[in-house]
Structures are given as structure tokens and as C-alpha cells.
Amino acid sequence: MQIERLNSFLHVNEEIPQISSFVFAKVGPFSIANTTTTIFLITLIFIVGAFFVHRFKLKPSKVQHVFEMLYETIEGFVAQLVGSKEKGEAVTPYVGAIMVYLLIANLLPMFPFISSFYLHTGSGEEFPLFRGATTDFNTTFGLALAVIIFMQFFGVKEQGFFNYISHFLQFKHVYRGFKKGIGEGFISIIGFFVGLIEIISELAKIISLSLRLFGNMFAHEVLTIILLSAFAYFVPALWMGMGVLVGVVQAIVFASLVGVYYSMATKKEEH
Amino acid sequence: MNIVLDVLNNLGFNWHVALANFVNFLIILYILNVFIFKKIRKQISHRDGIIKQGLTDAEQAKKDRENIEEERLSVIHKAEKEGHALIDVAHSKGEHIVADAKAKADIEADKIKGEAEKIKAQAKEDAEKEFAKEAPKIVAELTKKALKENMTGQANNELISKIA
């Protein structure tokens, strides 16, 4: 009996989270899952943040100083990624926003009590109300899809519709190649197929972005639960500390890739 | 295609949830972009503008002050020069006036001296003339008087001998 009590004190018996999030409501074509509620919570945090930022003054307070310092750090980082200060200033509201969103989304589940809210279903099952947003493939997929759509938009905006599309459908290059000669023409046909592969590459970016983030964050959550069931104290704490690092690094990696994709999409090719 | 769907299902993909999370992400992106990031950028740019304007104004004020100082020194230098020139002119004029006055005075003095000499000579001439006119009378009178009062025979002889 005492051994059982000691066991329950030393181990946390929690179920390993399922790969799919728990859907508890449906509104039209949208399903509300427990990762969606986390995103709602994050949205609420940002709305409060927006009210706070709205009250910023010309003569800054200490907190405003911190916010501005963080902003300038992110802006400097993005400027380095995209290669110029002007482009950095233009794209920071997007790349920086993704970075901040991911930082909050990755670190929010580590706050105490966030995982203590449960939803009870009619069948007696219970699910956590808030699940780490990035531990759900649906979130990371939606995020990556939005990013790639935005990159196409920026590419078209910067280079013009036909110029940007000509990277993928290189009819003009084939025509010019054959105009120069048969050899050049056949080389341009290879270029045409490379352009088609670029389309697949754009789609692959969605998968690679979403799976990298989802894999890291979900694996971290699963390992945390496994460690908690083995040792309730110390070891999970170390792993949670590691989780902060993973969360921060993944946010930076994702934002960096977005910055690189932006540079690639807006780079004007010399013909 | 089925393989892709199987893989996605195994990853817990649910397009309804993905769509909801996609839309939510767009909302978050909008809030962060418009109400936080752009606001902070605007505030920083506004402050940068004011600081840059202040620095430019300060630089301009410094230049203006230097120009005014230069102008002031130039005016003082010019005034000093003009003052010195005026003093020199005054000195020169003064010397001229003194020299003129001295020359005039000398001329006047010479004139007066000449006139005085003339008057003196005239007076002397007049006196001599008068004396020459009156002298015999006086001598005669005096002689007469002297002879009347004190002349003895002996004295008379002596006198006559002396005159002779």
C-alpha cells in the first residue's frame, strides 16, 4: 500500500497525447479543436497586447522600451535574413509576427495550469481544453499554407505576375532558346522541366515547414509525458527547460525560413 | 493520392480544423501586423524623425551662432579699423589746425610787432622832433633860471669857459 502511494507520488500517470487534436464543436466548415481554443487564447493575448501598444507614447516607459528593443532586435534579424534594411522594415510585420506567434504558441503550454483545464464529453471522456497549438499538424499545416500563399503574393507584387509565373512555366525561355539554336532549345526544355519541379518544390515547402515544426513540438510533448510517468520531479524539469529552448529555436528557424523564402520569392532574376 | 490522404490521416489531419486554424492564424497575423508591429514601427520612426530634426536644428543653430559670432567679430574689427582711421584723420586735422593757427598767430604777431615798431619809431621821431623843437626853449629857460638864482661872477665865467 505504501509502495503504491510512493509510486503515485513519484510518477504522474497521464495518457500520451493522441496525434490528432480533440474536436468538440463545429461551426459551418470550421471545426473547433482543443488546439483552436489555444489559438483563441493566443489571439486574446495579442488583442490585450494591441491595446497596450496603442497607448505607447513618444516618451517611452520602461516597458515600452523593452517592447521597442525587442521589435528592433527582430527587425535587425529579419533585415539580415532578407539582405537589406529597407526590405527588413517592410517584411518585419509579417516575418516578425510569425516569429512572435510561434514563440507564444510554443511556450504557452509550458505555463503552469494551462493544461489543467479539461473538457468533459457526454460519453464521460475528458480532454484538455488547451493543447499546444503547434503540437497539432492542422495548425502547422495551416500556418505553412498561409506562409507559402503570402510568398506567392509577395513574389507577384515585387516582380509582376507574368515575370513571377515565368519562373515556373518557362515558355518564354524555351522560345528564346530555340530562336538561338537547337542546342540552346534543348537546354531550355530542361529548364522548363526544372520550372515545373519548382512548383512541386513550393508545395514541398508547405509539407517541410509544417512537419518540421509539428514533429519537434509533438515529440517534445510526448517525451515530456513519458518522462513525467517515469520521474515526476527533476528530470521532467530539465526536459521542460529544454522545451523552452526547442520552442524558441523552432520559432526562430520557422521565421528564418520564411525570411529566406521571402528573399527567394522577391529576388529579381537577371536575364 | 490515397497514400497522401493516409499519411495525412495518420498525422491527425482534419481539413476542418486546419481551415479554422488557418483563418485564426490570418486573424492573429492581422492583429500583430497592423496593431502591434506597424504601430511600434510608426512610433519608433516618429521618434527617430523628431530626434533627427532636433539634431539638424541643433547643427543649424550651432552654424548660425558661429556665423553670428564671426559677423560680430568682423563688425567689431571693422569698427575698430574705422575708429582708428577717424582718430588718425582727427589727429591729422588737429595738427593742421594747430599748424594753421600757429602760422596765423605768427603772421599776426609779426604784423603787430611791425606795427609796434612803426609806432615806436614814429613816437621816437615825434619825441625827437618835439624835443628838437622844445629843447632850446627849455635850455634857455633852465639857463635863465639857473643864472638867475646861482650865478656869480666867477661861476659865470667858468660857465662861459666851459661852454666855449
Chain B interface mutation, best of A22, A35, A52, A143, highest count of B Cβ atoms under 10 Å: A143
Strand partners, A31: A26
Name the residue among A103, A221, A33, A116 with its Cα closest to residue B24. Answer: A33
The one-digit pLDDT tens for each residue of chain A (271 residues) are 566 665 666 666 667 778 888 888 888 888 888 888 999 999 999 999 999 999 888 888 898 999 999 999 999 999 998 888 888 888 899 999 999 999 999 998 888 777 778 888 777 777 888 888 899 899 999 999 999 999 999 999 988 888 888 888 888 888 888 888 888 888 888 888 888 898 999 999 999 999 999 999 999 888 888 887 777 777 777 888 888 899 999 999 999 999 999 988 888 765 4
Does A54 sit within 8 Å of B41, measured CB to CB? no
Query: Distance from B2 to chain A by nearest Cα, in Å?
Result: 17
Strand partners, A33: A23
Strand partners, A27: A30
In a domain, residue A190? The reply is: no
CB B27 within 8 A of CB A143: no
Give the Cα separation of A228 and A22 in Å (integer): 22
- Please, how many CA atoms are within 13 Å of residue A124, restricted to the half-sphere of its CB? 0
Q: What pLDDT, in 10s, does the model give residues B122-132?
A: 988 888 888 88
Confidence at residue A20, expressed as pLDDT on a 0 to 100 scale:
81
Query: Distance from B59 to chain A by nearest Cα, in Å?
Result: 23
Give the 3-state secondary structure of residue A33. strand
Confidence at residue B129, expressed as pLDDT on a 0 to 100 scale:
87
Confidence at residue B4, expressed as pLDDT on a 0 to 100 scale:
78
Q: How far is CA B73 from CA B67, B69, B77, in A?
A: 10, 6, 6
Mean pLDDT of chain B: 87
Does A29 sit within 8 Å of B19, measured CB to CB? yes
Nearest to A31 among B17, B31, B47 (CB): B17
Phi, psi (degrees; rounded to nearest 5) at A168: -95, -40
Q: What pLDDT, in 10s, does the model give residues B20-68?
A: 888 989 999 999 999 999 999 999 999 999 999 999 999 999 999 999 9
Does A142 sit within 8 Å of B18, measured CB to CB? yes
Among chain B, residues having any CB pair with chain A shorter than 8 Å are: 8, 10-14, 16-29, 31-41, 43-44, 46-47, 50
Percent of chain B surpassing pLDDT 90 = 51
In a domain, residue A225? The reply is: yes
Nearest to B38 among A20, A93, A98 (CB): A93
In a domain, residue A53? The reply is: yes
Name the residue among A103, A202, A101, A104 with its Cα closest to residue A154. Answer: A202
Nearest to A139 among B16, B21, B46 (CB): B21
Cβ atoms within 10 Å, residue B161:
8
In a domain, residue A176? The reply is: no
Residue of chain B with shortest Cα separation from A143: B22
Nearest to B28 among A43, A72, A136 (CB): A43
Three-state DSSP string of B78-133: HHHHHHHHHHHHHHHHHHHHHHHHHHHHHHHHHHHHHHHHHHHHHHHHHHHHHHHH
Chain B interface mutation, best of A30, A77, A200, A217, highest count of B Cβ atoms under 10 Å: A30
Cβ atoms within 10 Å, residue B119:
10
In a domain, residue A175? The reply is: no
The number of folded domains in chain A is 1
Q: Where are the domains of chain B?
A: 2-163
The answer to whether residue A142 neighbours chain B at the CB level (below 8 Å) is yes
In a domain, residue A166? The reply is: no
Nearest to A137 among B11, B43, B47 (CB): B11
pTM for this predicted structure: 0.74
Give the Cα separation of B156 and B164 in Å (integer): 12
Q: For residue A74, give its domain range.
A: 21-154+204-266
Q: How far is CA B141 from CA A99, A259, B149, in A?
A: 155, 155, 12
| ipTM above threshold 0.85 | no
Q: In chain B, what residues touch A21 (CB-CB under 8 Å)?
A: 12, 14, 17
Strand partners, A26: A31
